[in-house]
Structure 1
Amino acid sequence: MTDKRMFIERRPETGDYAVRKPDSERASAVLPTQGEAIDWAKERGGDVFVERVRNTDRGHPDKWRRP
């Protein structure tokens, strides 16, 4: 069984978003917006998790959420 998880991470140095698989060294894709990164991962059948990019009453940047 293959791992279908894909993580969307904001790259602070450039402000774009990387789509990564668990334990990968390189991004599968780099896209300019979080929405485009989520769509890209969903189109490929990924189980998508998004990095929180700001503090909210429900979570902080060190947490993951579903889109």
Structure 2
Amino acid sequence: MATKKVYNVEPREEGYAVIADGGKKASALTRTQAEGIAEARRLNPTAKPNVARVEQTQGGGPDKYRKNKD
């Protein structure tokens, strides 16, 4: 069943966590970012998940989130 929640995909030591926006616990843990995005879409197919950036910016660290464009 779909939900109205928006999910965030964040890196963890063991892979990626899928967390509801504003949530504290992971709804799912995945090995890859792509699997995390797929799980977030499965949980809510009508919303695009927010994906934590892992690339370094000119400021020295990653931005917090980007919208998945797919």
TM-score bucket of the superposed structures, by smaller chain: 0.7 to 0.9
What is the TM-score normalised by the length of structure 1? 0.75
Displacement of 1:44: 1.8
Q: Deviations over 1:12-58 (max 9, x none)?
A: xx24000001221210000000000000111122430000001257x
Residue 27 of structure 1 corresponds to 26
Gaps of 5+ in 1: none
> Following superposition, which runs of at least 4 residues in structure 1 exceed 3 angstroms of deviation?
none
Percent of counterpart pairs with the same letter?
Answer: 37
Residue 62 of structure 1 corresponds to 63
- 2:42 and 2:21 map into 1 onto residues whose CA distance is 18
What is the TM-score normalised by the length of structure 2? 0.72
Counterparts of residues 1-67 of structure 1 (less than 5 Å): 3-11=4-12, 14-45=13-44, 46-56=47-57, 61-67=62-68
Bigger Cα displacement from structure 2, 39-48 vs 26-35: 39-48
Gaps of 5+ in 2: none
